[in-house]
């Protein structure tokens, strides 16, 4: 994969070799004309691609059955379960993409960090990371610690059609840092932001320590055959634009640059990020994910205007040919609880907004998705209905 002899490991040490790039290319089995890949390139896909965040999970009875005696993180490290759970919604709903069943703390767990997922709460750390010594002691994941993920991906690829892609994913450093600092989920991320403001050197040291783990996790998935990856910054919406630029964007940019040589699409998504979309696009993804609070055409115009202004101001991150991104989103997950007529009407609305963005030149293409994840109480038949409605557009 990469030269692992450097210590400490930095993102700059993790640029893939030509051999690793070739391995990744040969492992991918999706057709270049798969709808999602065509949409990202700005071509006309055979049908509008669609997948849903959290499409594999608690909304499915088959998921609840297979996981009834298995912990969440344990299932992420069992190749058979990882593959089966990833594939369940693809079979049921005819999704255009499988999203790897995993969790953003999986690479931390694999590296030896004491973390578990507590039912009804989420990831909980044995010891929060709040000191320089704790940051220094934080391990960087090694690819050998992710062999179960690689094996699971092999099982997934064996079953997908060539017009269906596999999306790998990882949590972005800010969201990972918040879990580590808070010790678990937080409503306001106050301890995290207090460290960021009062101990900026410690903050940057933590981000520098996390970024290589994120890169390695993505690289392992890509080299195992993932056709695209999504970088989730779930909690970035709690930041101001100024703070995002200073404390977060440089690390997300480094991560995306580190996987760019593999030539797979990178999707970047966060919740409540309407004011951050332009800056999130500037860090370099091919696709910008948009939550349900901003219409797709409005969001795409905002992104294009922001990137154009940045390019004209000499921002070296934004080249002339990369001022327009594909867009992903953005049906409100609650709409899937509202009945067939509402689902059909709202699916069509989202498609119209996306089409306006493409027609205006503010988006290359559209990947239909929710504006966040499937709610656990969602009827699986409603999800299937939404897929069928959208594929009929």
Contact 324, 308 (CB under 8 A): no
User: Is residue 88 annotated as involved in ligand binding?
Assistant: no
Let me know if 54 is a catalytic residue: yes
What is the per-residue DSSP string for 22-37?
A: HHHHHH--S-TT-HHH
Of residues 48, 63, 103, 163, which has the active-site annotation?
A: 103
Of residues 28, 48, 67, 323, which has the active-site annotation?
A: 67
Show the 3-state SS of the chain: CCCCCCCCCCHHHHCCCHHHHHHHHHHCCCCCCCHHHHHHHCCCCCCCCECCCCCCCCCCHHHHHHCCCCCHHHHHCCHHHHHHHHHHHHHHHCCCEEECCCCCCHHHHHHCCCEEEECCCEEEECCCCCCHHHHHHCCCCCHHHHHHHHHHHHHHHCCCCCCCEEEEEEECHHHHHHHHHHCCCCCCCHHHHHHHHHCHHHHHHHHHHHHHHHHHHHHHHHHHCCCEEEEECCCHHHCCHHHHHHHCHHHHHHHHHHHHHHCCCEEEECCCCCCCHHHHHHCCCCEEECCCCCCHHHHHHHHHHHHHHHHHCCCCCCCHHHCCEEEEEEECHHHHHCCHHHHHHHHHHHHHHHHHHHHCCCEEEEEEEECCCCCCCCCHHHHHHHHHHHHCC
Let me know if 69 is a catalytic residue: no
Contact 107, 231 (CB under 8 A): no
Let me know if 48 is a catalytic residue: no
DSSP code for 272: S
User: Is residue 103 annotated as involved in ligand binding?
Assistant: yes
User: Is residue 391 annotated as involved in ligand binding?
Assistant: no
Let me know if 103 is a catalytic residue: yes
Q: Whats the size of the chain, residue-wise? A: 393
User: Is residue 372 annotated as involved in ligand binding?
Assistant: yes
Neighbours of 359 (CB within 10 A): 10
Of residues 25, 41, 47, 54, which has the active-site annotation?
A: 54
User: Is residue 55 annotated as involved in ligand binding?
Assistant: yes
User: Is residue 58 annotated as involved in ligand binding?
Assistant: yes
Q: What is the dihedral of CA 306, 207, 205, 17, to 10 degrees?
A: -100
Contact 82, 101 (CB under 8 A): yes
Of residues 28, 63, 96, 179, which has the active-site annotation?
A: 179
Which element (helix H / strand E) includes 6?
Answer: none
User: Is residue 189 annotated as involved in ligand binding?
Assistant: no
Let me know if 58 is a catalytic residue: yes
Of residues 58, 78, 260, 349, which has the active-site annotation?
A: 58
Annotated binding site: 54-58, 103, 179, 234, 372
Known catalytic residues are 54, 58, 67, 103, 179
Annotated binding site for substrate: 54-58, 103, 179, 234, 372
């Amino acid at each position: 994969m990469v030269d692992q002899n450097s210590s400490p490991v930095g993102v700059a040490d993790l640029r893939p070799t030509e051999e690793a790039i070739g391995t990744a290319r040969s492992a991918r089995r999706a057709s270049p004309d798969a709808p999602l890949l065509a949409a990202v390139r700005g071509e006309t896909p055979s049908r509008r691609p669609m997948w849903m965040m959290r499409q594999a999970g608690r909304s499915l009875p088959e998921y609840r059955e297979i996981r009834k005696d298995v912990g969440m993180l344990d299932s992420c490290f069992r190749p058979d379960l990882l593959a089966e759970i990833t594939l369940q919604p693809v079979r049921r709903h005819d999704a255009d993409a499988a999203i790897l069943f995993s969790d953003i703390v999986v690479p931390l767990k694999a590296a030896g960090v004491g973390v578990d997922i507590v039912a009804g709460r989420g990831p909980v750390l044995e010891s929060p990371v709040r000191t320089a010594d704790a940051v220094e002691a934080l391990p960087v994941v090694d690819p050998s610690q992710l062999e179960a993920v690689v094996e699971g991906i092999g099982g997934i690829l064996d079953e997908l059609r060539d017009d269906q892609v596999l999306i790998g994913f990882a949590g972005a450093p800010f969201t990972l840092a918040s879990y580590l600092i808070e010790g678990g989920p937080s409503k306001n991320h106050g301890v995290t932001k207090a460290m960021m403001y009062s101990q900026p050197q410690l903050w940057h040291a933590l981000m520098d320590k996390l970024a290589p783990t994120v890169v390695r996790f993505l690289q392992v998935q890509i080299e195992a055959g993932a056709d695209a990856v999504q970088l989730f910054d779930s909690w970035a919406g709690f930041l101001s634009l100024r703070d995002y630029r200073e404390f977060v964007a440089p690390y997300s940019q480094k991560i995306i640059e580190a996987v760019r040589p593999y030539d797979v699409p990178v999707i970047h998504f966060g919740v409540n990020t309407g004011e951050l979309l332009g800056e999130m696009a500037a860090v370099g993804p091919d696709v910008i994910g948009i939550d349900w609070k901003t219409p797709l055409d409005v969001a795409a115009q905002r992104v294009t205007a922001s990137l154009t202004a940045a390019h004209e101001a000499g921002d070296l991150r934004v080249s002339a040919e990369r001022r327009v991104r594909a867009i992903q989103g953005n049906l409100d997950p609650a709409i899937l609880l509202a009945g067939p007529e509402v689902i059909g009407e709202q699916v069509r609305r989202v498609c119209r907004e996306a089409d306006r963005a493409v027609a205006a030149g503010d988006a290359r293409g559209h990947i239909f998705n929710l504006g966040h994840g499937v709610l656990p109480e969602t009827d699986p038949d409603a999800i299937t209905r939404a897929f069928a409605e959208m594929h009929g557009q």
